[in-house]
Each structure stands twice: as C-alpha cells, then as structure tokens.
Amino acid sequence: MVDITASMVQKLRSQTGCGIMDCKKALIKTKGDEQKAFDYLRKKGLAKAEKRAGRTTYEGIVYSYIHPGDKLGVLVEINCESDFVAKTEDFKNFAKNIAMHVAASNPSGLNPEDIPEEVIEKEKEIFRSQAIEQGKPEKIINKIVEGQVKKFFSESCLINQAYIKDTQKTIAEITTEIIAKLGENIQIKRFVRFQIGE
C-alpha cells in the first residue's frame, strides 16, 4: 500500500484544478503514480466536459486585446454558466489566450458554418482545377477536393485551428480542457479583429 501524502494530493490538485477528494482517489487508484493519476483525472474531466457541452451559458466576459504598437486589436465574447466562473483567473486567462490567438491567426469565422457558401464554393473550384492540372484521375478528384476543404476549415475556422501556444491541440480541445477544469460549459461566442489598413 502506497502512502498518499497531503503534498502529493496538493500537487495533483494544483495541476488539475480537481477537488481534494478526487485527487486523493485518483492517487489511490493509480497506487501513487502521479502521471497516471493526472491522466486518469484528465480523462474523467474531459468525459464530464462532454456532458456539460449542452448546458446554457448566460454569463461570461468580453475580453479586449490590443497588440503592442496599437495597430491590431481583438474583442472576444466568452460565455460560461455562472458569474462566479466568469470572474476566475483561469477563465480570464482563457479569454486572453483566445484573443491573442485570434490576433495571431486571423480566422475567417468561428465554425465552418460561419464561412459563406460562396467562399467555400470558390475554394472547391480552385482545388478541383489544381487536381485536374496535376493530372489526377477523375474518380479521385472529389475525394481530393473534400480533403482540401477539410484542411481549409482547419486553417480558417477558429474552433478547428491549431492553438498557437500548443500546436498539438486545437482551439476546440483547449476549450474542452477548460470546461473540464472549471466544471461549467464554456463557449467562444464570437470575435472581431481590427487591423489598421484592412
């Protein structure tokens, strides 16, 4: 039997944001292996986050970010379920990170649904022409176009973009992580990006 110390529990709690009893249970379950306990809580938290995704979000903040030099600014609206969570440091940091990401990556919309149909059709035409020019067989051209459209969405839709601070994760994934950590549904509602000369 591994002795689970208070400092082990506290360390895991600071890493995950989970309750003391949850951290203690995770350490007992994983026989004191901190990494396994962390992974266990993360999986459990992400599963709970999926369940929370449908809950209504009436609270939140509008966060403003002005890039040094005052030529670029971003406003983001991030919603959550309670005023309590909206005032937490973690929530504000999440909003700040999203605003900085928008400033750096200049997404065209939040979701694929936000991209106008005519823009998507124009992209499809370009992808189709490129495939024909490259001499690709007719029967696989549709598949190629489909793949290119998917790639286009991953580059142009905020929720699908690779997060600038950790390119192994998408914005959707870091949103799920903050939902798991804070225990409420959190949604990026909208954003606007202003740049001098655009």
Note whether 73 and 99 are same-domain residues. Answer: yes
Going by pLDDT thresholds of 50, 70 and 90, the confidence category of residue 142 is confident
Q: Is position 1 within any domain?
A: no
Mean pLDDT of the chain: 85
3-state helix, strand, coil in the chain (%, to 5): 60, 20, 25
Considering the domain architecture, whether residues 189 and 130 belong to the same structural domain is answered as no
Tell whether 150 and 180 lie within a shared domain.
Answer: no
| pLDDT grade for 185, boundaries at 50, 70 and 90 | confident
**Same domain membership, residue 83 and residue 26:** no
Residue 24 lies in a domain: yes
Model pLDDT, residue 47: 53
Domain that holds residue 180: 59-110+157-195
Query: Cβ(169)–Cβ(162) under 8 Å?
Result: yes
Asked whether residue 40 falls in the same domain as residue 20, the answer is: yes
Q: Is the pTM of this model over 0.95?
A: no
| Residue 55 predicted with pLDDT over 80 | no
